[in-house]
Amino acid sequence: MNPILLALLASGLISLVSLLGILFIKIKKNRLKGELLTLVGIATGALLGDAFLHLIPESTAIINSEKTGLMIITGMLIFFSLEKILKWRHCHDIDCNQNKELVWISLLADSIHNLIDGLIIGSSFMISIPIGISTSLAVFMHEIPQEIGDFAILIHGGFSAKKAALMNLGSAFLSVLGVLVIWLISDIGKIRGELMAITAGGFIYLAASDLIPELHRHENKIKQSLWQMISVLIGLGIMYFLL
């Protein structure tokens, strides 16, 4: 099957995750917080697993290890710069208190984030279908808690559930645009090693600066800490079995 069609299918399905917020809106807050943290842990393991088990080894097989390291750092700096410039803020909690101005900034940042997801998914499938599948799965796991959190931001910002869902969905579908942009770049295969390393850097940055601090913020008891570690290992395990 055509890699771009697979990438479009993957990004389209991942975009539908943005509607999950509606399903969770009536669940009790304490229960939902626990479930979201489990998803954050799995997403952490999946992002790190995809970076270290799939993307970096594949990159070093194409380009030398020194260049791979430089591209990993480049990926981390790209995501760091975007976060600084756009006030990029991920929310994995249902108590995201945001004023109207910050709600729009958050929506803009999330839109660009989704566009980048599409670029990552598209380029991954152009490199190889197995890399595309593992990367899409890692993005999918990260999107679940993030999109529920983004939905919560819009609700706290005063939007109705219907309007919040539609705005979140519209933002999510920018990932499809990202895939189309990659499709228009015909020479993407010439820099596939660099792209994998940059993607790995972005995934490492997201896990280290966004997801892991979120787990630490909610770490209160030994039992919770143990479950967080288990959830991270589940994410890593999924990536390992995809090798």
**What is the CB neighbour count within 10 angstroms for residue 86?**
16
Q: What is the DSSP letter of 157?
A: T
Lowest mean pLDDT among 38-47, 53-62, 88-97, 126-135: 88-97
pLDDT of 186 > 70? The answer is: no
Q: Which residues contact 165 (CB under 8 A, 6 or more apart)?
A: 18, 19, 21, 22, 151
pTM: 0.76
Q: What is the pLDDT of residue 117?
A: 87
Q: Are 167 and 23 in contact (CB under 8 A)?
A: no
- Cα–Cα distance for residue pair 65/68, rounded to 1 Å: 5
Of 142, 167, 137, give the one whose Cα is nearest residue 154: 167
- Cα–Cα distance for residue pair 214/210, rounded to 1 Å: 6
Q: What is the pLDDT of residue 145?
A: 76
Tens digits of per-residue pLDDT, 14-49? 998 888 777 766 665 556 666 777 888 888 898 899
Residue-range domain boundaries for the chain:
3-11+35-241
Q: What is the pLDDT of residue 136?
A: 92
Tell me the one-letter amino acid at 145: P
154-166: b (≥16 Cβ within 10 Å) or e: bbbbebeeeebbe
Show the tokens assigned to 148: 């529920």
Tell me the one-letter amino acid at 203: F
Averaged confidence pLDDT in the chain: 81
C-alpha 137, offset from chain centre: 10
Q: What is the pLDDT of residue 9?
A: 93
Of 211, 2, 4, 18, give the one whose Cα is nearest residue 114: 18
Show the tokens assigned to 218: 């909610």
